[in-house]
Amino acid sequence: MEKVIGIDLGTTNSCVAVVENGSAVVIANRGGYKTTPSMVAMTEAGKRLVGHLAKRQAITNAENTIYSAKRLIGRKWNSPQVTQVSQTASYNIVEGPHGDVRIMLRDKAHSVPEISAMVLAEMKLIAEEYLGQEVSKAVVTVPAYFNDNQRQATKDAGAIAGLDVIRIINEPTAAALAYGFGRNIDRTVAVYDLGGGTFDVSILEIGASGVFKVISTAGDTFLGGEDFDARVINWLVEGFKTEHGLDLRRDRMALQRLKDASEKAKIELSAVREVEINLPFIMSSGRNEALHLQRTLSRAEFERLTADLVERTVAIMKQALDDAGLQASDVEDVVLVGGMTRMPLVERSVAEFFGREPSKGVHPDEVVAVGAGIQGAALMEGASPQQKVVLLDVTPQTLGMMVAGGLMEPLIPKDTTVPTSRTKAFTTSRDNQTAVKILVMQGEAEQASENELLGEFILTGLRRAPAGMVEIEVTFEINADGIVSVHAKDLETGKEQSITVTASSGLTKEEIAAMIDQGKNFALERKKDEEFEGLRQEAEGLVHEVERLFDKVARVVGGSDYGRDALEKAQGVIERARLAIDRRDVAALKEQVDALSRTLRMFKGVVAKG
């Protein structure tokens, strides 16, 4: 039976889990790590690297190493968030053909879903290697606060990676699922998720019958670990400027090293009270002299540098509670998610806020993937009743449309349980109006333009009549993935039009199809690469063995014509094997591996006899 995997597609790290024999397993990658950096790189030779391999070469190839693509997914080029990334990222981003964002890898511009697809494809491969079978279906998590554009783009990324994303679930909901599944508890729980790039908090009710109901959710898709790193970077850069009058930001390589060192210092400060940051030869003084950076950062200083970031999460927690109509003391358990929750100040602030210690026992880096895996198993064909779960999630932002005066008319308020739909009747506002344009928006601002435009569509062919005489019914629907679709109906003619609201910043169907093909090519290439690597190792091992025995064999049979002939042939095989390796010719190499094995057997026979 085909397994459905659960993927936590994180800003900094991704993680994949699957349910086996009733319990969720977090799958380790080849390096033995259970999380894989959400990083993609292209080497000078045009080789694509994903995960740890990409991270390891980030310093020397900063311009072609993409991280934090999740911060850009589903966003428009002209959004403030994109501007912020473009100012700080070590890679280049450009405007795409749909007012979307494209990321440069070497000379090629890639859409953001394409970059995320490379990470998803890697997670798929990790799962396939573990399971020993192909995987085509996944549950993928997104921050609860993701709007429709971001969800749609995440689904597109799945498709490009060759994965049918059968459900999108919210990260905090997944965490609650991992925490409460199978425990038969009846409790109000808060999930505080501070990851690499995003912050979410959700209040849920977990029912003993396996029902997970989200009551409210709040968050900020631009608040996470990287902002903490940035404070350390800033502190180092300013210090360096004061000391040497030089700006480290001007040097991409230096900046990348600073970034790594800052994250490392931050992580260490979760365990120790003081760290030393040491970056020798960080920059040249311009007078033929190398400058070093060396500073000590205390936990207290680090907490001072980042206190306002933690404060921001506290304000968002308050909002989530307000929206749920609850007091902090009503929350019976607090689940921490995301690597950043290991920071003592974060833990302290959350404990203080709720007046209780957060629950231990769920692994903050893996809990979301585990929840996704559990949901995946529940959605599998033939899932057992024990595997079933009922997730009642909510829409994180108000859905509405633009009306006269540029105002937003709310239709489905935030925190409404999904799936849901609302129907509303409208009348024409002008005489002889034959078409209406509907702008679908998401967000809380009164001014429509300040909200996220999800899409627009035009209902045409209305009967000519005086204003107010033609009635149109519009139905807005949000499915369990949080994805929006809209139908409009001319009540008189029954004429209907519907759209799945694809983001104006999204990709067209044709573009996605082309990218899926490219993704397949890459998977094939990668398989070929792996096959070659395996053969190369085998061939080199055999060559080594044959060469080791060469002199002995020569001593035994080198005197005869037959022997000399055999030795010459052996040398020929070795040469051809080396040539095949140089040319990366898999077919030829296979042949030479066979020939080398035969030669080795023969050599061994000679040595044994001789």
- Alpha carbon distance 370, 56 (integer Å): 27
- 594 as an active site residue: the answer is no
Q: For residue 320, give both structure tokens.
A: 């989530």
Judged by CB under 6 A, the number of residues near ligand AMP is 18
Q: Which residue in the set 244, 318, 342, 569 belongs to the binding site for ligand AMP (CB under 6 A)?
A: 342
Nearest to 20 by CA among 380, 367, 390: 380
Nearest to 347 by CA among 269, 463, 457, 460: 269
CA dihedral 570, 571, 572, 576 (to 10 degrees): 100
Q: Which residue in the set 100, 148, 365, 366 belongs to the binding site for ligand AMP (CB under 6 A)?
A: 365
Decide: is 349 part of the binding site for ligand AMP (CB under 6 A).
Answer: no
Sole window of 64-72, 333-341, 485-493, 497-505 interacting with ligand AMP (rule: CB under 6 A): 333-341
Question: Which amino acid is present at 597?
Answer: S
Which residue of the chain is nearest ligand AMP when measured via CB?
225
- Alpha carbon distance 20, 46 (integer Å): 38
- Alpha carbon distance 449, 117 (integer Å): 31
The nearest distance, CB 38 to ligand AMP, in angstroms, is: 8
The nearest distance, CB 15 to ligand AMP, in angstroms, is: 8
For residue 466, the 8-state DSSP code is S
CA distances from 446 to 14, 35, 408, 436 (A): 36, 41, 5, 21
- Alpha carbon distance 227, 69 (integer Å): 15
Decide: is 266 part of the binding site for ligand AMP (CB under 6 A).
Answer: yes
- Alpha carbon distance 328, 319 (integer Å): 11
Nearest to 265 by CA among 207, 225, 238, 292: 225
- 193 as an active site residue: the answer is yes
- 591 as an active site residue: the answer is no
Pair type for strands 187-194 and 199-207 = antiparallel
- 8 as an active site residue: the answer is yes
Which of 114, 193, 347, 477 is catalytic? The answer is: 193
Decide: is 195 part of the binding site for ligand AMP (CB under 6 A).
Answer: yes
The nearest distance, CB 228 to ligand AMP, in angstroms, is: 7
- Alpha carbon distance 104, 258 (integer Å): 22
The nearest distance, CB 43 to ligand AMP, in angstroms, is: 25
Site string for ligand AMP, 468-487 (x = CB under 6 A): --------------------
Sole window of 26-34, 173-181, 340-348, 571-579 interacting with ligand AMP (rule: CB under 6 A): 340-348
Sole window of 10-18, 73-81, 118-126, 248-256 interacting with ligand AMP (rule: CB under 6 A): 10-18
Q: For residue 225, give both structure tokens.
A: 């670990």
Whose Cβ is closer to ligand AMP: residue 311's or residue 450's? 311
Decide: is 267 part of the binding site for ligand AMP (CB under 6 A).
Answer: yes
- Alpha carbon distance 211, 512 (integer Å): 36
Decide: is 363 part of the binding site for ligand AMP (CB under 6 A).
Answer: no
Which of 8, 200, 263, 415 is catalytic? The answer is: 8
Decide: is 339 part of the binding site for ligand AMP (CB under 6 A).
Answer: yes
The nearest distance, CB 52 to ligand AMP, in angstroms, is: 14
> How far, rounded to the nearest angstrom, does the alpha carbon of residue 365 sit from its chain's CA centroid?
13
Whose Cβ is closer to ligand AMP: residue 340's or residue 402's? 340
Which of 114, 156, 171, 220 is catalytic? The answer is: 171
Q: Which residue in the set 6, 51, 180, 225 belongs to the binding site for ligand AMP (CB under 6 A)?
A: 225
The nearest distance, CB 266 to ligand AMP, in angstroms, is: 5
Token pair 């950076």 is found at 293
For residue 363, the 8-state DSSP code is -
The nearest distance, CB 346 to ligand AMP, in angstroms, is: 8
Whose Cβ is closer to ligand AMP: residue 187's or residue 342's? 342
- Alpha carbon distance 516, 524 (integer Å): 12
The nearest distance, CB 343 to ligand AMP, in angstroms, is: 4
Q: Which residue in the set 5, 7, 13, 512 belongs to the binding site for ligand AMP (CB under 6 A)?
A: 13
Q: Which residue in the set 4, 7, 12, 146 belongs to the binding site for ligand AMP (CB under 6 A)?
A: 12
Strands laid side by side in the 211-220 sheet: 333-337, 187-194, 199-207, 211-220, 390-392
Whose Cβ is closer to ligand AMP: residue 349's or residue 428's? 349
Q: Which residue in the set 117, 340, 345, 374 belongs to the binding site for ligand AMP (CB under 6 A)?
A: 340
Token pair 């509670």 is found at 321
State which H helix or E strand residue 490 sits in: strand 484-490
- Alpha carbon distance 358, 335 (integer Å): 6
Decide: is 338 part of the binding site for ligand AMP (CB under 6 A).
Answer: yes
Percent helix, strand, coil in the chain, to 5, is 45, 25, 30
For residue 447, the 8-state DSSP code is B
Site string for ligand AMP, 154-183 (x = CB under 6 A): ------------------------------
CA distances from 511 to 269, 365, 455, 508 (A): 45, 33, 18, 5
- Alpha carbon distance 516, 528 (integer Å): 18
Whose Cβ is closer to ligand AMP: residue 38's or residue 433's? 38
The nearest distance, CB 340 to ligand AMP, in angstroms, is: 4
Decide: is 270 part of the binding site for ligand AMP (CB under 6 A).
Answer: yes
The nearest distance, CB 226 to ligand AMP, in angstroms, is: 6
Decide: is 333 part of the binding site for ligand AMP (CB under 6 A).
Answer: no
- Alpha carbon distance 12, 361 (integer Å): 22
Q: For residue 45, give both structure tokens.
A: 């030779």
Q: Which of residues 108-147 bind ligand AMP (CB under 6 A)?
A: none
Q: Which residue in the set 343, 372, 394, 484 belongs to the binding site for ligand AMP (CB under 6 A)?
A: 343
Q: Which residue in the set 263, 366, 477, 481 belongs to the binding site for ligand AMP (CB under 6 A)?
A: 263
Exposure letters 385-395 (e unless 16+ CB within 10 A, then b): eebebebbbbb
Sole window of 75-83, 173-181, 334-342, 525-533 interacting with ligand AMP (rule: CB under 6 A): 334-342
3-state secondary structure of 24: strand
Sole window of 130-138, 332-340, 511-519, 528-536 interacting with ligand AMP (rule: CB under 6 A): 332-340
What residues make contact with ligand AMP under the rule CB under 6 A? 10-13, 195-196, 225-226, 263, 266-267, 270, 338-340, 342-343, 365
Active site residues: 8, 70, 171, 193
